[in-house]
Amino acid sequence: MNRRATTSGLVLTLAFLLLVYVILLAPCEKCDLIGVGCDSCSNYGGEVILSESFGILLPEAEDSSIHEFMNTNLFFKSSPEIRVLSNQILLKNSLFGKKDQTLNFNLVDLDNIERSLLSFAVIDSKGIFKVKLNDHEIYASELTQGIKVVVLPVDYLQEENELKLSVDFSGISFWSKNNCELMDISLKNEYEVVYSGDVSEFEVSFLEKESISSSSLSFASYCNVAEDVNILKIYLNNENILFENLPCSLQNRVIEIDSSLLNAGINSLKFTIDGGDYSFNNIKLINRLDIPTFPTRDFNINLVDSSIVYMDVASNEVGHLAEIYINNVKIDLESETNIFNLDITEYVFDGDNTIKIIPLVIFDIETLKITLI
């Protein structure tokens, strides 16, 4: 029994030590040993620093950069809500008795209520009909047969509300009686639905930022509902670049932009209106460039004395396809096969690096991979 226990303990100890060893292995060594964590490893057994498919490249450089944005609809609208408070009400007030009616209702989103209306059908009425909203008398008048609408002041509305309906006293004559018969008593609330601003983000590369000679913003606008003229404001990175009246007609606009407002990195473009209902389409921000741009990527490497860095390019063509610049050092992408391999250790730095591709013919880079060994 003691020998079996000793053997079992030894096996468990060895298994534990093996597990710790595997956990502490570098990712690519773990890949070689058990096939786990291989996504960042290459055929060289090292760490993949950059791996990208550039797609089809053209020898003509771009002399402008166009950032396109989704169409947007900005609006201020009213959305009605109708609820029935009572199907029928009978009110009376005389020497022999009084009958009032109290209606209760709750409201949410008070801040967005534009208008509140009490409507009903008058079947019969004698005397002064009175309405109190939360102890505020808001209506007192004789009624005639037909449909009647009473405006409820928004300032008197609360989350929990009480409507008190009554008729005035008929007097001391025992045969006299004031009364009122109402049907279909309903409450209509009109809520303001607002989507007055839209923000879009876009990215400007460092090379593009350094190459911009001028910038412009173009868009088309159209009002969906004929209203008074409203104000359009446009902001680039929280700086106002347009403040003007927006008429209710089709407008095609191009405005020049101070390119110094653009950032190398993430930028924001915001459209806002102060009223109405407008659609904005074909929104484009165009940067015209002094220096034509070609595909450029940045990558970072942590080098040690024994480091080796390889570049592999898989393409759909053979021959002299492009010039590749690594930190401004020119490399000819030229091969008799679809695979190009090169040791680029002498061209890279510890830290940040840049690679730029200048195509000489039309071809497709299926994969460009940089591997640290």
Each domain of the chain, given as residue ranges in start order, spans: 42-60+294-372, 79-193, 196-293
Q: Give the fold, CATH level 3, of 42-60+294-372.
A: Jelly Rolls (2.60.120)
> Is 196-293 in CATH node 1.20.1050.10?
no
Note the pLDDT of residue 289. 83
Residue 241: band (very low, low, confident or very high) from pLDDT cuts 50, 70, 90:
very high
Give tens-digit pLDDT for 40-89.
Answer: 444 566 889 999 887 777 676 667 888 999 999 988 777 788 899 999 99
Per-residue pLDDT, averaged over 7-34, amounts to 57
pLDDT at position 22 over 60: no
The residues facing 161 across adjacent strands are 105
Note the pLDDT of residue 36. 45
Residue 5: band (very low, low, confident or very high) from pLDDT cuts 50, 70, 90:
low
pLDDT at position 115 over 60: yes
Note the pLDDT of residue 209. 85
pLDDT at position 34 over 80: no
Note the pLDDT of residue 40. 41
Q: What is the mean pLDDT of the chain?
A: 84
CATH of span 79-193: 2.60.120.1200
Give tens-digit pLDDT for 135-183.
Answer: 999 999 999 999 999 999 999 999 999 999 999 986 665 567 899 999 9
Q: Give the chain's radius of gyration (CA, Å).
A: 38
Note the pLDDT of residue 84. 93
CB 120 within 8 A of CB 181: no
pLDDT at position 37 over 60: no
Note the pLDDT of residue 3. 52
Q: Between 32 and 54, where is the model more confident?
A: 54
Per-residue pLDDT, averaged over 116-130, amounts to 93
Per-residue pLDDT, averaged over 284-312, amounts to 86
Q: Rounded CA gap, 171 and 192, in Å?
A: 45
pLDDT at position 324 over 90: yes
Same fold, 42-60+294-372 and 79-193: yes
Give tens-digit pLDDT for 332-364.
Answer: 998 888 889 999 999 999 999 999 998 888 888
